[in-house]
Structure 1
Amino acid sequence: METKKNPKSDLRKNSILYFFVGMTVVLFATWLALEWKSYDKITDWDIGMIDRNLLPPEEVPITIQKMELPKPKIITPPKIEIADDEEKIEETVIEAIDPNQDTEIAEVDDIEVAEEDLIEEISIVNVETAPIFPGCENETTEAGKKACFQEMMNKHIRKNFRYPEPAQELGLQGRVNIMFTIQKDGTISDIKLRGPHETLENEASRIISKLPQMTPGKQGGKKVRVTYTLPIIFKLQ
């Protein structure tokens, strides 16, 4: 005997319809869940929005303060002492020191003349007798002594000149201005330098420190300190 299905009991007949209906219900429920909003409870009044003009005016209490008056200062009058009439006061007599006919006149030879102050330090350009560099003793004129001094100074610099290796490595070059003093005993002191770098200044100071002792300069026949200024130029080849 062959079995037959009842077409009314077929579950697959409206399965597509049920599927779309279910999907619609699920999407609608999801949309409601996403769009659902909740709000906090709001009170009928807000403290921050209260208008101050509606509040009653605040009464400031009135206080009474007692002011203490400063104590009066008692000023004692100075004591005045009255001298007796019988007391004798000696008056100081000022004698006149102006010359008159009885004043003795000193002799001219008895008057001491103050010596003219000599300048203790002077430039080699303005000194009367310039310092003598060893080797310039045969010069007879002052112009010749100064020219010989300059020439011997240049020879001394060329002979003792050494370009510092650190300066060469760093590419240092420039002009070092030097000023030193030839003392009354012919020694060199008070060396002052100004240059672009300390390394170049140290080399210039070493060269000047090797100068020989010289014959000191003179002004008015007396030995004086003489200043001399010269430049040393450091230039890389």
Structure 2
Amino acid sequence: MKKNILKNLALGLMLLFAASAFAQDEAVPFAVADKAPAYPGCENLSGEVLQDCTSQKIINFVNANFDTSLGKKLGIVGSTRIVVQFKIDADGNTTDVRSRSLDNDAKVRERLQTEANRVVEKLPNMKPAEKEGKKVAILYSLPIQFEVPKTTEEKN
């Protein structure tokens, strides 16, 4: 059921290249880091395999912990999108979590943003990224496509 509701979460973690609301004085873009942050269980990997492992584990964590009952509670019909931006700091902590829902309804936007922030803030501590042998903060953007499938009655 969660796979249907959070369809397209596998769009994955996208690099936040453009200017954002984050203070970028200490954070580097993902592509510039020599070594990506490592989610628990990915620490012994390197290169693209490390990036893919960390991204997939973050996606799985969000998918498993997002309160999918919000769709029914909020009366969402169809799909809506939430973009969560966050930083994995030089200590491996998830910080500066911000989200933006693209839903038209202000109440729905607020609840989805709050839920997305809650889940991302619970991410486990990770091994930080490195640039030139130094631990650095990395910026991420995670798009979430939240879908509520139509029931059989609504389809007919």
Please give the TM-score of this superposition, normalised by the length of structure 1: 0.46
Please name the residue that 1:228 is paired with.
140
Give yes or no for the alignment of 1:153 onto 2:58.
yes
Please name the residue that 2:6 is paired with.
none
8 Å CA contact retained: 2:43, 2:127: no
Gapped regions of structure 1 (runs ≥ 5)? 1-118
- Report which of the two has the higher share of strand: 2
8 Å CA contact retained: 1:188, 1:211: yes
Cα RMSD for the two superposed structures: 1.6
Give yes or no for the alignment of 1:216 onto 2:142.
no
> Which amino acid counterpart does residue 222 of structure 1 have in structure 2?
K
Q: 1:144 is matched with which residue: 29, 41, 49?
A: 49
- Report which of the two has the higher share of helix: 2
8 Å CA contact retained: 1:164, 1:200: no
Please give the TM-score of this superposition, normalised by the length of structure 2: 0.69
Gapped regions of structure 2 (runs ≥ 5)? 1-24, 104-108, 150-156
8 Å CA contact retained: 2:85, 2:97: yes
> Which amino acid counterpart does residue 113 of structure 2 have in structure 1?
E
> Which amino acid counterpart does residue 210 of structure 1 have in structure 2?
K
Based on CA coordinates, which of the two structures has the bigger radius of gyration?
Answer: 1
Give yes or no for the alignment of 1:189 onto 2:95.
yes
Q: CA deviation at 1:231?
A: 0.9
8 Å CA contact retained: 1:132, 1:215: yes
Q: CA deviation at 1:169?
A: 3.7
Give yes or no for the alignment of 1:121 onto 2:27.
yes
Q: How far does the alpha carbon of each residue in 1:172-227 deviate from its partner, in whole angstroms, 9 at most, with x for none?
A: 34110011011111111101111021111111111101100011111111111111
Ranked by relative contact order (alpha carbons within 8 Å, sequence separation 6 or more), the top structure is: 2
> Which amino acid counterpart does residue 60 of structure 2 have in structure 1?
K
8 Å CA contact retained: 1:164, 1:199: no
Q: 1:135 is matched with which residue: 25, 41, 44?
A: 41
Please name the residue that 1:180 is paired with.
86
**What is the rounded CA distance, in whole Å, between the counterparts of 1:210 and 1:169 in structure 2?**
23
Q: CA deviation at 1:164?
A: 4.3
Please name the residue that 1:163 is paired with.
68
